[in-house]
């Protein structure tokens, strides 16, 4: 018995050794027969080479990290991994086989924030050129993981070299119009870092609320953080909810958010608005305004005439005190001081401001704003920081060391770059995520405009007007999220994602690597990652799309859908589209007044929002149109064809149909191809004065047979209908081939109106001829 037992004990190590060898052989065979995973990364890297190998990540895999920063990045990787597997990897100082190895070095000759990532069957190596590079390598590794949960995860073999195109990659959040908790701000930063953005622009003060604690001035939050009520519905409705609203961040909460951001390699830039958007501060301290008040924290959206008084030395002392506390909190080199939408109405009448202008030899109130900004810049520079301002800080002369955020189109950025100032591009027509992202009538209310994912993706931050030397001053770009119509965190997510994923690729990836169709394919995988983050993203990118296009015979409707396996069906009589309707196989000609309705079906069920578009029919449909000058970039349908495409713009101006002119006049000539009888002429004009859209002073129609000699046939100078004014005029005994339409902009918004003194918008759409 004794010998037998000992024989069994003697055999046991052999059995164990055999079992371990078999297991190792099995694991080796399993690794060699690994399934080929899908490499799908957003933003797309500089270079990706897929390899036959795959790496099996399991509980025995080790994360090798030697520096505190690498270990911090490893912890963040484990946070994601636990969502997929339920376990975290051991973090060790060394490891070779079955290991993910992080290595950070600093190479001044290599690309800043760059990294390489190699996935072999035995290990994964991430080499970051600096701490940021290692972190971004981790973010890419996360995107190589499967999106399905499991105990072990196959990671596809790949060799990746990557680095950002732009040094500044920003995402903004306005917490003044609506306030968001620190938990949501952290989630916002988390998502921002996941997409390789490196800057969070935190808009902390405005007319509708002061959101940051300033210990020297507690009234800023005691009074300035609260408003008696909030607008309900769209601005044009002028309705209020009657409910008190407020909120602010303590300095301890700010520190907590900044620590969280730093761990994710995100720089936070605070914005303290001046000299405009100051009503919340003036309510707390009326002596800082030109009139002395009384003031009230803003309850409506838009621009207010009451701004900081530039003739008061106490204004500058107050702002310096505020900035002292802000600078002590925020470690980054930039402080954003706003500078936008500052009406000069009060300054023009204020004795103190007029005295300041005389003493400083300033020619006008625009020069006074430049004085204001430059004075604050000198103070901020004295603290070792630099200022950023919206492009209005160009007016009256740019502060010497200022960085310009170009939001009113690209003109401000071009002007600043030509003056050799650093520029961050943020034009409204491409990167304002408060715009509508779908034309569906079921969309929640938004400020206006139309900026779908495809338009965000199409943005090129370096303007064509710049030389290579001037282009060096374009430091990057940023998307902005103004929260007037975003009452809660879920709504913010809906408006930001997936548009932010498109923006991430704009600012990170090489221009030549970007391809929208390829991006959408990768997005289909990436949305599962957003699901894991519980992001309430919009799904419009996969709904049916329709566009009116010019053709030799006039206008055709082109339909498309990114839904895999979906089939399109349409009707032209206004009836519901079903799988029994006409299948879409080619562009649909518009040869009469009709309503095209279309839907995409998968397995017999409709998917997403339906496309519905009514078309009017007239002689000018699809004809050649020549514009005297193009519309403003923020409201430009893309081609003069938009004036004769048979689609009438809607009053919400979210359908990309209106031709918008800021302070400029409209003139268009339509060529009918031949001399014809003209019985009716018309055009649509938008009258929405609260957001600054004014009807023209004068509207004129002229007709010519040769394109040289025009005769006026109709004019109008009153447009009293709120919303859309459908101008229609009947004519008798008029022949012509060319029809010219001119509309004179009112110029500046008149006194007493919202935004007085700013340039007025003129909106024109659809020239109608019969």
674-690 pLDDT, tens per residue? 999 999 999 999 999 88
- Token duo for residue 547: 């566009």
* Residue bearing the bigger pLDDT, 449 or 232: 232
For residue 661, what pLDDT band results from cuts at 50, 70 and 90?
very high
For 716-726, what is each residue's pLDDT tens digit?
A: 999 999 999 99
For the cut 50, the answer to whether the pLDDT of residue 232 exceeds it is: yes
Task: Round to whole Å and give the CA distance between 185 and 261.
Answer: 10
* Residue bearing the bigger pLDDT, 764 or 402: 764
For residue 225, what pLDDT band results from cuts at 50, 70 and 90?
very high
Amino acid 754: pLDDT: 77
Q: What is the arithmetic mean of pLDDT over 226-241?
A: 92
* Phi, psi angles (nearest 5°) of residue 308: -60, 140
Q: What's the angle, vertex CA 760, arms to CA 755 and CA 762, rounded to 5?
A: 140
For the cut 50, the answer to whether the pLDDT of residue 15 exceeds it is: no
* Phi, psi angles (nearest 5°) of residue 389: -145, 155
Provide the 10 A C-beta neighbour count for residue 8.
10
CA dihedral (81, 85, 90, 94) in degrees, to 10, reads -70
- Please report the DSSP string for 460-509 in residue order: -SS-TTS-HHHHTTEEEEEEB---TT--SHHHHHHHHTTHHHHHHHHHHS
Contacts of 738 (CB under 8 A, 6+ apart): 669, 670, 671, 672, 703, 704, 705, 706, 707, 710
Distance (Å) of CA 119 to CA 49, 52, 55, 557: 10, 10, 7, 47
For residue 28, what pLDDT band results from cuts at 50, 70 and 90?
very low
Task: Round to whole Å and give the CA distance between 570 and 576.
Answer: 8
Three-state SS at 157: strand
pTM of the model: 0.85
Share of the chain above pLDDT 70, in %: 95
Distance (Å) of CA 170 to CA 6, 253, 435, 663: 71, 22, 18, 30
Amino acid 49: pLDDT: 96
Amino acid 273: pLDDT: 97
Q: What is the arithmetic mean of pLDDT over 276-281?
A: 98
Write b or e for each residue in 409-434: b if 16 or more Cβ atoms lie within 10 A of its Cβ, otherwise e.
Answer: bbbbbbbbbeeebbbbbbbbbbbbbb
In terms of Cβ atoms closer than 10 Å to its own Cβ (0-12, 13-18, 19+), residue 386 is middle
For 178-199, what is each residue's pLDDT tens digit?
A: 999 999 999 999 999 999 999 9
* Phi, psi angles (nearest 5°) of residue 372: -60, -50
Annotated catalytic residue, options 271, 273, 341, 493: 341
DSSP code of residue 519: H
For the cut 70, the answer to whether the pLDDT of residue 734 exceeds it is: yes
Lowest mean pLDDT among 16-25, 286-295, 458-467, 618-627: 16-25
For the cut 80, the answer to whether the pLDDT of residue 444 exceeds it is: yes
For residue 2, what pLDDT band results from cuts at 50, 70 and 90?
very low
Amino acid 37: pLDDT: 58
For the cut 60, the answer to whether the pLDDT of residue 91 exceeds it is: yes
For residue 9, what pLDDT band results from cuts at 50, 70 and 90?
very low
For residue 561, what pLDDT band results from cuts at 50, 70 and 90?
confident
For residue 478, what pLDDT band results from cuts at 50, 70 and 90?
very high
Q: Quote the radius of gyration of the chain (alpha carbons, Å).
A: 30
Taking each helix axis from N to C terminus, what angle separates 182-194 and 489-496, rounded to the nearest 10 degrees?
A: 20
Provide the 10 A C-beta neighbour count for residue 671.
14
For the cut 60, the answer to whether the pLDDT of residue 97 exceeds it is: yes
For 129-183, what is each residue's pLDDT tens digit?
A: 998 999 999 999 999 999 888 899 999 999 999 999 999 999 999 999 999 999 9
For the cut 60, the answer to whether the pLDDT of residue 597 exceeds it is: yes
341 annotated active-site:
yes
Nearest CA among 46, 199, 213 for reference residue 117: 46
Provide the 10 A C-beta neighbour count for residue 219.
14
Contacts of 735 (CB under 8 A, 6+ apart): 675, 676, 677, 678, 703, 705
Amino acid 401: pLDDT: 84
For domain 47-162, give its CATH number from 3.30.70.1380, 3.20.20.70, 3.30.379.10, 3.40.50.2300. 3.30.379.10
- Token duo for residue 143: 């995107």
Amino acid 756: pLDDT: 82
For residue 5, what pLDDT band results from cuts at 50, 70 and 90?
very low
Maximum mean pLDDT: which of 106-120, 271-285, 401-415: 271-285
Q: What is the arithmetic mean of pLDDT over 53-75?
A: 95
For the cut 80, the answer to whether the pLDDT of residue 10 exceeds it is: no
- Identify the helix (H) or strand (E) that includes residue 317: helix 313-329
Average pLDDT, the chain: 92
May I ask the CATH class of domain 624-769? mainly beta
Amino acid 4: pLDDT: 32
Distance (Å) of CA 743 to CA 181, 264, 275, 685, 699: 47, 52, 34, 10, 5
Name residue, tokens 């289909």.
524
CA dihedral (225, 202, 345, 311) in degrees, to 10, reads 80
Q: What's the angle, vertex CA 630, arms to CA 628 and CA 633, rounded to 5?
A: 165
Q: What's the angle, vertex CA 312, arms to CA 310 and CA 314, rounded to 5?
A: 120
May I ask the CATH class of domain 170-398+438-474? alpha beta
Taking each helix axis from N to C terminus, what angle separates 516-532 and 68-85, rounded to the nearest 10 degrees?
A: 80
Q: Are 700 and 712 in contact (CB under 8 A)?
A: yes
Task: Round to whole Å and give the CA distance between 14 and 463.
Answer: 72
The neighbouring-strand residues paired with 624 are 671
């Amino acid at each position: 018995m004794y010998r037998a037992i000992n024989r069994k004990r003697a055999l046991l190590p052999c059995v164990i050794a055999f079992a371990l060898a078999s297991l190792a052989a099995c694991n080796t065979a399993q690794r060699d027969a690994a399934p080929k995973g899908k490499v799908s990364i957003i933003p797309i890297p500089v270079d990706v080479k897929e390899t036959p190998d795959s790496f099996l990540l399991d509980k025995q895999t080790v994360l090798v990290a030697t520096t505190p920063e690498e270990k911090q990045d490893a912890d963040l990787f484990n946070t994601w991994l636990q969502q997929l597997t339920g376990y975290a990897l051991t973090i060790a100082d060394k490891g070779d086989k079955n290991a993910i190895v992080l290595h950070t070095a600093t190479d001044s000759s290599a690309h800043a924030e760059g990294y390489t990532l190699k996935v072999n069957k035995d290990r994964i190596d991430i080499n970051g050129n600096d701490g940021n590079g290692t972190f971004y390598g981790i973010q890419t590794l996360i995107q190589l993981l499967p999106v399905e949960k499991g105990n072990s995860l196959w990671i596809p073999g790949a060799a990746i070299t990557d680095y950002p195109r732009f040094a500044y990659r920003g995402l903004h959040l306005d917490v003044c119009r609506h306030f968001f908790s620190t938990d949501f701000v952290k989630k916002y930063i988390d998502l921002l870092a996941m997409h390789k953005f490196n800057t969070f622009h935190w808009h902390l003060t405005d007319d509708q609320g002061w959101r940051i604690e300033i210990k020297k001035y507690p009234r800023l939050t005691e009074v300035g953080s609260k408003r008696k009520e909030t607008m309900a519905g769209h601005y044009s409705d002028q309705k209020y909810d009657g409910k008190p609203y407020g909120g602010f961040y303590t300095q301890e909460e700010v520190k907590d958010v900044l620590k969280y951001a730093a761990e994710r390699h995100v720089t936070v830039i605070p914005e303290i608005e001046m000299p405009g958007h100051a009503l919340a501060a003036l309510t707390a301290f009326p002596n800082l305004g030109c009139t002395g008040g009384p003031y009230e924290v803003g309850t409506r959206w838009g621009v207010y005439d009451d701004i900081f008084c530039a003739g008061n030395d106490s204004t500058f002392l107050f702002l310096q005190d505020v900035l002292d506390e802000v600078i002590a909190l925020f470690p980054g080199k930039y402080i954003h001081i706003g500078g936008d939408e500052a009406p000069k109405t009060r300054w023009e009448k204020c004795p103190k401001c007029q005295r300041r202008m005389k003493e400083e030899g300033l020619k006008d109130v625009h020069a006074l704003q430049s004085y204001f900004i430059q004075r604050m810049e000198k103070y901020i520079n004295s603290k070792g920081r630099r200022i950023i301002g919206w492009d209005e800080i160009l007016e009256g002369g740019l502060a010497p060391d200022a960085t310009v955020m170009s939001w009113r189109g690209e003109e401000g950025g071009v002007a600043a770059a030509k003056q050799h100032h650093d520029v961050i591009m943020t034009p409204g027509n491409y990167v304002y995520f408060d715009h509508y992202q779908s034309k569906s009538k079921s969309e929640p209310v938004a400020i206006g405009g139309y900026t779908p994912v495809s338009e965000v993706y199409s943005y090129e931050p370096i303007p064509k007007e710049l030389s290579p030397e001037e282009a060096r001053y374009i430091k990057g770009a940023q998307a902005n999220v103004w929260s007037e119509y975003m009452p809660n965190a879920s709504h913010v997510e809906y408006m930001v994602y997936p548009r932010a994923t498109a923006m991430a690729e704009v600012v990170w990836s090489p221009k030549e690597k970007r391809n929208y169709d390829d991006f959408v394919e990768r997005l289909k995988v990436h949305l599962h990652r957003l699901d894991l983050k519980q992001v309430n993203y919009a799904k419009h990118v996969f709904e049916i799309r329709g566009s009116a296009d010019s053709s030799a015979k006039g206008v055709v409707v082109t339909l498309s859908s990114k839904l895999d396996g979906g089939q399109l069906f349409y009707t032209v009589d206004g009836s519901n589209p079903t799988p029994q309707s006409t299948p879409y196989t080619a562009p649909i000609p518009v040869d009469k007044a009709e309503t095209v309705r279309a839907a995409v079906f998968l397995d017999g069920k409709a998917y997403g929002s339906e496309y519905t578009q009514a078309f009017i029919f007239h002689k000018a449909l699809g004809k050649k149109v020549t514009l005297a000058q193009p519309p403003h970039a923020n409201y430009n349908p893309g081609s003069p064809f938009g004036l004769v495409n048979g689609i009438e713009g809607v009053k919400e101006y979210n359908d990309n149909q209106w031709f918008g002119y800021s302070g400029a006049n409209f003139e268009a000539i339509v060529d009918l191809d031949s001399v014809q009888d003209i019985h009716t002429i018309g055009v649509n004009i938008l009258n929405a004065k609260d957001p600054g859209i004014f009807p023209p002073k004068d509207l004129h129609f002229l007709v010519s047979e040769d394109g040289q000699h025009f005769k006026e046939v109709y004019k109008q100078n009153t447009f009293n209908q709120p919303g859309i004014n459908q101008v229609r005029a009947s004519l008798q005994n008029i022949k012509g081939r060319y029809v010219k339409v001119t509309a004179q902009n009112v110029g500046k918004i008149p006194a007493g109106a919202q935004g007085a003194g700013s340039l007025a918008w003129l909106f024109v759409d659809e020239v109608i001829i019969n």
